[in-house]
C-alpha cells in the first residue's frame, strides 16, 4: 500500500512512522517498558521459586510474599495492557493467577462462624512479641487492658520486660517468666491456674518454649507456645524446622482441646508450616478472618507485611474472633484470638 503525503508519495521512513502511530506503540520499547518487563520477569521467577521452598532456605524465603507478588503482578498487568504489550500482559497475568490461587483461601469471609447453640467455655488469648529492644512498656500494658485476654503469651522477653510484666500479676496471678537477652525469652500469664508440663525442644534451655495445661471452669486445655529462630543466619533454618518438627510431635501426643501459639517465623505458604499444620491436625485461626499480617510493622502498610505470628487450635474449638492488635512499639503486631471450647472435644466447626 502506498503512503501519500500532500506532495505525493511519502518516503519509506514517513510510511513507517504513519504505521507506527496507527498501531499506538513505538517500534522500540522505551526504558520504562523495559523496566516493567524486567519486573514481570522477576515476579515470574519469584513465583516459581516460591513453590520450591523445600530445597533450601533461600527458596523458602521467597514463599512468604505471595500477597506482594500478587499486587505487583496486578499492577504490571494493567501497565502492560495500557502499553498494548501483549506478551508481557500474559506473563503478568500468569503470576497474578498463581499467587491469587495461593492467597484466595485466606480471604476474609465476613462474619464469624455461626454459634452452634451448644455453648462452651470462652477463652481469649493474646500473643505479644514485644521485641527485645522495645521500651514502650506502657503501650503493651494499655493493649492488654483494652483487649482483656484470659491468657497472655509474651515473646522476646528480656530482664527489662520481665520487670514490666510484674504489673500483670494482680490480674494474671498465674504466670511463668523465662527472660533471655537474645530474643528467645518467653512468658506465660493466665487468669486461670495452670500446671507446667515437661517440654523437650532441640535447643533446650537456650530457646525455651512453654507447655501448660490451663484449668478453666470445669475443663482443661493444653497450650504450647514456641518461638523458633528466624531462618536467616547460618544453621537457623535447620533449627527452626527442627523445633517445628519437635513441637508437632509433642502436639500429636496431647489430648484435645489443645492450642499452639507463637511467632513461628514462617508464613502459611511455607511447605514446612504446611507440614506442621498437617502433622498436628490443627486449624489456623486465620481461616475466615483474613491473613492478619503481623510483621514487620516498620513497613507501614498491612499489605507489605506478612503473617508469621500464629495460633492453631484443635477442631473442638470455634474461633469466635481473630484480629491483630494495635502497635505497641514492637516490629510485630499482637495477635488476639477469642475461642469457644466445647467440653468433650466434639467438633464445633459450622
Tell me which residue has cell 516459581: 48
CATH number for domain 121-341, candidates 1.10.3720.10, 3.60.10.10, 1.20.950.20, 1.10.540.10: 3.60.10.10
DSSP state of 306: B
Question: What's residue 22's pLDDT?
Answer: 41
Note whether 91 and 103 are within 8 A (CB): no
- Which long-range contacts link 207-215 to residues 24+ away (Cβ below 8 Å)? 207/239, 207/243, 208/178, 208/180, 208/184, 209/243, 209/247, 209/262, 210/153, 210/176, 210/178, 210/186, 211/250, 212/176, 212/188, 214/123, 214/151, 214/190
- Nearest alpha-carbon partner for 96 in 110, 109, 80: 80
Contacts of 62 (CB under 8 A, 6+ apart): 46, 49, 50, 53
User: What is this structure's pTM?
Assistant: 0.87
Question: What's residue 25's pLDDT?
Answer: 53
Residue 336: enclosing H or E segment and its boundaries? Answer: strand 335-341
Question: What's residue 323's pLDDT?
Answer: 97
Q: Residue 104: exposed, middle, or buried by beta-carbon count in 10 A (0-12, 13-18, 19+)?
A: exposed
- Which long-range contacts link 299-304 to residues 24+ away (Cβ below 8 Å)? 303/67, 303/68, 303/71, 304/68
Residue 289 cell numbers, joined:
478472618
Q: What is the helix, strand, coil percentage profile of the chain, to 5?
A: 40, 20, 40
Question: What's residue 344's pLDDT?
Answer: 54
Tell me which residue has cell 514446612: 272
Question: What's residue 108's pLDDT?
Answer: 83
Task: Tell me how many degrees the CA angle 101-251-243 measures, rounded to the nearest 5.
Answer: 75
End-to-end CA distance of the chain: 69
Where along the chain do its domains lie?
A: 4-106, 121-341
Strands 335-341 and 317-324 turn out to be antiparallel
Kindly report, residue by residue over 213-261, the tens digit of the pLDDT: 999 988 899 999 999 999 999 999 999 999 999 999 999 999 999 999 9
Positions of the chain with pLDDT lower than 50, given as ranges: 1-2, 5-24, 345-350
Residue 127 cell numbers, joined:
500473643
Note whether 238 and 267 are within 8 A (CB): no
Amino acid at each position: 500500500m502506498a503512503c501519500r503525503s500532500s506532495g505525493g508519495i511519502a518516503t519509506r521512513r514517513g510510511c513507517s512512522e504513519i504505521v507506527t502511530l496507527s498501531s499506538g506503540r513505538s517500534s522500540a520499547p522505551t526504558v520504562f517498558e523495559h523496566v516493567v518487563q524486567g519486573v514481570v520477569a522477576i515476579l515470574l521467577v519469584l513465583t516459581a521459586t516460591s513453590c520450591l521452598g523445600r530445597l533450601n532456605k533461600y527458596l523458602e524465603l521467597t514463599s512468604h510474599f505471595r500477597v506482594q507478588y500478587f499486587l505487583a503482578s496486578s499492577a504490571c498487568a494493567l501497565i502492560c495492557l495500557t502499553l498494548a504489550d501483549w506478551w508481557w500482559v500474559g506473563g503478568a497475568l500468569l503470576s497474578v493467577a498463581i499467587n491469587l490461587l495461593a492467597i484466595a483461601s485466606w480471604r476474609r469471609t465476613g462474619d464469624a462462624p455461626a454459634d452452634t447453640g451448644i455453648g462452651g467455655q470462652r477463652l481469649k488469648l493474646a500473643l505479644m512479641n514485644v521485641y527485645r529492644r522495645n521500651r514502650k512498656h506502657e503501650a503493651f500494658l494499655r493493649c492488654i487492658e483494652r483487649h482483656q485476654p484470659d491468657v497472655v503469651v509474651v515473646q522476646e522477653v528480656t530482664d527489662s520486660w520481665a520487670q514490666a510484666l510484674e504489673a500483670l500479676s494482680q490480674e494474671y496471678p498465674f504466670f511463668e517468666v523465662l527472660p533471655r537477652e537474645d530474643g528467645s525469652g518467653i512468658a506465660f500469664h493466665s487468669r486461670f491456674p495452670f500446671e507446667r508440663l515437661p517440654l523437650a525442644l532441640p535447643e533446650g534451655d537456650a530457646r525455651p518454649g512453654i507447655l501448660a495445661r490451663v484449668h478453666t471452669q470445669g475443663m482443661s486445655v493444653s497450650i504450647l507456645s514456641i518461638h523458633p529462630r528466624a531462618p536467616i543466619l547460618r544453621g537457623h533454618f535447620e533449627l527452626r524446622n527442627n523445633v517445628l518438627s519437635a513441637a508437632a510431635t509433642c502436639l500429636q501426643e496431647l489430648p484435645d482441646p489443645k492450642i499452639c501459639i507463637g511467632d513461628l517465623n514462617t508464613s502459611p505458604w511455607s511447605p514446612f508450616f504446611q507440614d506442621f499444620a498437617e502433622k498436628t491436625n490443627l486449624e489456623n485461626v486465620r481461616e475466615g478472618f483474613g491473613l492478619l499480617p503481623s510483621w514487620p510493622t516498620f513497613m507501614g502498610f498491612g499489605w507489605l507485611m506478612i503473617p508469621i505470628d500464629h495460633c492453631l487450635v484443635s477442631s473442638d474449638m470455634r474461633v469466635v474472633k481473630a484480629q491483630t492488635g494495635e502497635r505497641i512499639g514492637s516490629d510485630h503486631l499482637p495477635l488476639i484470638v477469642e475461642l469457644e471450647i466445647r467440653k468433650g472435644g466434639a467438633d464445633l466447626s459450622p
